[in-house]
Amino acid sequence: MLNDMLSLIAMAPPAGGGEQQGPFYYVVLMALMMGIFYIILIRPQRRREQERKKLISNVKTGDRILFAGGILGTVANVKEKVLVVRIADKVKIEVSRGAVSHVLDKDEAPPDPTEAA
């Protein structure tokens, strides 16, 4: 019985006399949805990516950095696409610039991953 009533409601004509919207209405609606999508998702992501590129391009010798994998180190040498990083006494590694997630001040502690949410 409940299924019969639900199927009757589903087949009922739309409220408001059943007027059909023109094709221009759907074009405007779709453009409005894409505009909202751009403002909410794409624009902030582009801004974050530009800030990250600026951060990576400004890395210099002596900076403390945190990598995406959680390694902390001090930049010993800056090359075009690679950073030579000292992670312990007499231990240096070469790391791609893209792996840098944060540049830290001299006494700054790394960010807590549980506070990111």
Condensed to tens digits (0 to 9), the pLDDT of residues 66-108 reads: 988 888 999 999 998 899 999 999 999 999 988 888 888 777 7
Torsion angle, alpha carbons of 25, 27, 30, 36, to 10:
-90
Using CA atoms, how far apart are residues 45 and 26, in angstroms rounded to an integer?
28
Q: Which of 114, 117, 106, 115 is nearest to 72 (CA)?
A: 106
CATH architecture of 60-115: Roll (2.30)
Q: Alpha helix locations (H) across 12-111?
A: 23-37, 43-57
- pLDDT greater than 80 at residue 113: no
Are the C-beta atoms of residues 104 and 66 closer than 8 Å to each other? yes
Which tens digit of pLDDT belongs to each residue from 6-39? 665 666 556 655 567 788 888 999 999 999 999 9
